[in-house]
């Protein structure tokens, strides 16, 4: 582990936190004046601010010095369970199989490829970690690119269709400002083409001569799409699309069929798509459906057989296939519906009324996406708080159109499941011509697994399962779904995972579980632990993001020490459909926080844990969640872990010049112009609602990054300063060379996880275990 985590450069007092100067600044809006003592910490370039942050960091490290051996142990456990020299399952594109590999001792992956054996080579070669790959060509070694930098991240990585050039974009500060370059793969040399300050997501057009990339406005919003021709100077680049409305983010891509270039833009509630034939990259994009406020949609190009397009009473088509757009939208369909629409001709649009509904709206099923290939379609959706994938073959059952399927029943997707009550299944379509699917599967106890799925037969072949060294046995662990009841009567799902021999179960205490209540039940069928277990409760609850079952190697170190890990699927997320999201945003945002508190109280009340054995965990918007929950119920938690926390949300939302503020108004509201929104946010924002006497608050650790452009470092810095002034046992750990995602490099990331997990174990009295 690095010295930064084990030996702080200074030796400050471990009993008193650094004193943060109070410099009162008045903030008055809508008749309300708030005295902000710590807004001066926003001056990032001020040496006094930097010195204060470094002092907080040194104090935190000094306070945690006694945990250095435990941190080293946790780091060693993560490292010891990880196959450090490993590689991904190759994916075919054109005449090459592409993959990434890691090498023991190196922070970053190496991107490489090997040639296909022939046109029918659709099964990836079994590659042995550490063994030479015949015919391998290294495309990009991130370790070499990162040399000399404290931080390194890729924002774009694309290979031209002819396989001759590599486009890549790098960030070496953590501020998400990427420099775009092009490499000749025959020589390994970079071309003169270079563009600075781009956003992620640059790509080649199929001709390999034109590049499309994005730039951002002053609020770091991607708003312009540019076209660059290789060999020309940046001054010759052309803006092909510009979105002046500050609510909308813009992206650019290529349909899987590679027939269309696509520009997609969206606010939090409205979206719009534009198309251009990819063989005419200098042509004019045309809109699919003109934007309508409150209507979201996505577009996927597909080529369908007549049975899925033409009505049964229509004459037999002379055409074997039909070009269509599959559009997933929410107009008069809260949980979205899927329609098939004609492709608009150049210079034209096709009205939404011309579309045919193929998967209707279902109030119990949230449709989330569709992917098309030459041979099948995959539908992604969510039911009962679990993500699911289903497949539909596009191969005609008969050669003539006489017996073709009735289109009213032809859109019969077949769900792919592995039979666990808590699982995550995701089918990857791959390239257009690929004859089979790759299906990813995981759960809280099952390492990530990748299968080759034969669409015709349903047969699955395991390609790779995430290695877990040291004899991991999934049978040693268990997972379960519980339901808490919120203060308004809403049932809120909770997912739990634990090690069986560390959590002893007795008779049921009447908890509500997935299988109902049974007074004699035990373990996973509804019983509660015989005694309260230490428990880490994670939550997020924003942007309709869902926390699906997932396996984690670092989490094993907690489970093996007896900690139960739980996820509170609170409103504001997307686990239970669009209404679940709507009930946790804007004027309903308080539900997110009270749901989390209700989940904590449920786990305490049913005997899963106790307040002195419960730690809350959340990052970014989840940091806002745990910060607000702390103010609402400080007695409920023994500790609160808040990563890059959005705890000064009102101050940020009052400043439209900050990154994300305008685009976030559909999520939080506009407190600048709406006094009701201002008053509502003022009532829950963690920073402004810290109790005057916070001496009874739980222990708090906030982590952040100096170059974070999404949640500025100043938010947790101010929050911790105010907590400390009010007597709360709060600490701040800040990475001075990192961004919103934290440190870069896998070993550095493991060190950060070890630091946080050691703190959690210390709070729960398990530091000696």
Q: Are strands 639-643 and 699-705 parallel, antiparallel or unpaired?
A: parallel
| Residue 563: closest CA among 623, 621, 498, 500 | 498
CA distance 649 to 687: 8
CA distance 494 to 103: 37
Angle (CA) 257 258 260, round 5°: 105
Residue 629 tokens, joined: 């929950």
CA distance 177 to 174: 8
| Residue 287: closest CA among 344, 367, 245, 230 | 344
What string of H, E and C letters represents the secondary structure of 431-490? CCCCCCEEEEEECCCCCCEEEEECCCCCCEEEEEECCCCCCCCHHHEEEEEEEEECCCCC
Catalytic, out of 52, 329, 740, 757: 740
Angle (CA) 101 103 106, round 5°: 115
For residue 438, what are the CA distances in angstroms to 115, 300, 551? 20, 19, 19
Angle (CA) 749 755 761, round 5°: 130
CA distance 168 to 385: 37
What string of H, E and C letters represents the secondary structure of 126-171? CCCCCCCCCCCEEEEEHHHHHCCCCCCEEEEEEECCCCCEEEEEEE
Question: How would DSSP label each residue in 62-123?
Answer: HHTGGGHHHHHHHHHHHHHHS-SSEEPPPEEETTEEEEEEE-TT-SS-EEEEEE-SSTT--S
Catalytic, out of 708, 748, 757, 762: 708
> How many residues are given for the chain?
769
Residue 634 tokens, joined: 């400080």
CA distance 689 to 510: 35
**Residues 471-494 as b or e (16 or more Cβ within 10 Å = b):** ebeeeebbbbbbbbebeeebebbb
DSSP state letter for 343 = P
Q: CB neighbours (10 Å) of residue 426?
A: 17
For residue 664, what are the CA distances in angstroms to 76, 200, 410, 464, 528? 40, 19, 40, 39, 41
Q: What's phi and psi for 273, nearest 5 deg?
A: -125, 145
CB 355 within 8 A of CB 337: no
Q: What's phi and psi for 42, nearest 5 deg?
A: -75, -20
For residue 406, what are the CA distances in angstroms to 322, 397, 410? 16, 12, 6
CA distance 150 to 148: 7
For residue 464, what are the CA distances in angstroms to 195, 253, 442, 461? 38, 29, 12, 9
Q: CB neighbours (10 Å) of residue 350?
A: 17
CB 687 within 8 A of CB 41: no
Instruction: Tell me the three state secondary structure of residue 573.
Output: strand
C-alpha dihedral, 88 to 89 to 92 to 95, nearest 10°: 70
Catalytic, out of 387, 620, 652, 744: 620
683 annotated active-site: no
412 annotated active-site: no
708 annotated active-site: yes
Q: What residues are annotated to the active site?
A: 620, 708, 740
């Amino acid at each position: 582990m690095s010295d930064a985590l084990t030996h702080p450069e200074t030796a400050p007092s471990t009993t008193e936190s650094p004193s943060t100067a109070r410099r009162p600044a008045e903030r008055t809006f809508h008749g309300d004046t708030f005295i902000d003592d710590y807004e001066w910490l926003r001056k990032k370039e001020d040496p006094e601010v930097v010195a204060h942050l470094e002092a907080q960091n040194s104090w935190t490290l000094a306070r945690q010095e006694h945990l250095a051996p435990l941190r080293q142990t946790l780091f060693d456990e993560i490292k010891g369970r990880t196959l450090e020299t490993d590689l991904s399952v190759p994916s075919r594109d054109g005449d090459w199989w592409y993959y990434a590999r890691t090498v023991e001792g190196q922070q970053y992956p190496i991107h490489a490829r090997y040639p296909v054996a022939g046109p029918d080579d659709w099964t990836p070669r079994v590659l042995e970690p550490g063994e030479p790959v015949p015919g391998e060509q290294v495309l990009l070694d991130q370790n070499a690119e990162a040399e000399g930098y404290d931080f390194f991240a890729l924002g774009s990585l694309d290979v031209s269709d002819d396989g001759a050039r590599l486009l890549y974009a790098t960030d070496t500060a953590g501020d998400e400002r990427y420099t775009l370059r092009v490499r000749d793969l025959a020589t390994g040399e970079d071309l003169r083409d270079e563009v600075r300050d781009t956003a992620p997501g640059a790509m080649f057009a199929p001709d390999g001569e034109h590049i499309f990339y994005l730039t951002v406005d002053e609020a770091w919003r991607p708003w312009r799409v540019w076209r660059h021709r290789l060999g020309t100077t940046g001054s010759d680049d052309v803006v092909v699309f510009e979105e002046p409305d500050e609510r909308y983010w813009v992206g650019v891509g290529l349909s899987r069929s590679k027939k269309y270039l696509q520009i997609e833009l969206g606010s939090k509630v409205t979206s719009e798509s534009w198309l251009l034939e990819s063989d005419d990259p200098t042509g004019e994009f045309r809109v699919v459906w003109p934007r309508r406020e409150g209507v979201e949609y996505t577009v996927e190009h597909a080529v369908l057989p007549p049975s899925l397009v033409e009505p049964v009473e229509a004459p037999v088509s002379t055409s074997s296939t039909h070009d269509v757009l599959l559009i997933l939208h929410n107009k008069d369909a809260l949980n979205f519906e899927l329609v098939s629409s004609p492709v608009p001709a150049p210079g034209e649009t096709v009205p939404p009324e011309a579309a045919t509904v193929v998967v209707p709206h279902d109030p119990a099923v949230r449709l989330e996406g569709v992917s098309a290939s030459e041979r099948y379609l995959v539908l992604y959706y969510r039911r009962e708080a679990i993500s699911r994938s289903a497949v539909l073959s596009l191969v005609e059952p008969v050669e003539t159109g006489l017996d073709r399927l009735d289109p009213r029943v032809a859109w019969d997707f077949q769900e792919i499941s592995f039979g666990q009550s808590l699982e995550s299944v995701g089918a990857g379509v791959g390239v257009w011509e690929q004859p089979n699917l790759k299906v990813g599967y995981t759960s809280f106890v099952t390492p990530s697994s990748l299968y080759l799925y034969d669409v015709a037969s349903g047969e699955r072949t395991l390609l790779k399962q995430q290695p877990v060294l040291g004899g991991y046995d999934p049978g040693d662990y268990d997972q379960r779904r519980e339901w808490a009841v919120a203060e308004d009567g809403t049932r809120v799902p909770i997912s739990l995972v634990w090690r069986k021999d560390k959590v002893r179960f007795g008779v049921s205490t009447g908890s509500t579980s997935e299988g109902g209540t049974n007074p004699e039940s035990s373990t996973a069928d509804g019983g509660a632990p015989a005694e309260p277990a230490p428990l880490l409760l994670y939550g997020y609850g924003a942007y309709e993001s869902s926390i699906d079952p997932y396996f984690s190697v670092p989490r094993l170190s907690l489970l093996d020490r007896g900690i139960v890990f739980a996820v509170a699927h609170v409103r504001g997320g997307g686990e239970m459909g669009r209404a679940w999201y709507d009930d946790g945003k804007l004027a309903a945002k308080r539900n997110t926080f009270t749901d989390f508190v209700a989940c904590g109280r449920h786990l305490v009340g049913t005997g899963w844990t106790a307040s002195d054995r419960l730690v809350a965990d959340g990052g970014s918007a989840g940091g806002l969640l745990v910060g607000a929950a702390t103010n609402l119920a400080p007695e409920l938690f023994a500790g609160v872990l808040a990563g890059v926390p959005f705890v000064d949300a009102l101050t940020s939302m009052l400043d439209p010049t900050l990154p994300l503020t305008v685009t976030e108004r559909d999520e939080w509201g506009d407190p600048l112009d709406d006094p009701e929104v201002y008053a509502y946010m003022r009532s829950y924002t963690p920073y402004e609602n810290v109790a005057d006497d916070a001496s009874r608050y739980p222990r708090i650790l906030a982590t952040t990054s100096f170059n974070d452009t999404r949640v500025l470092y100043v938010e947790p810095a101010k929050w911790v300063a105010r907590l400390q002034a009010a007597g709360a046992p709060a600490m701040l750990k800040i990475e001075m060379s990192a961004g919103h995602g934290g440190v870069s490099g896998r070993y550095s990331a493991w060190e950060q996880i070890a630091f946080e997990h050691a703190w959690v174990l210390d709070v729960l009295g398990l530091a000696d275990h």
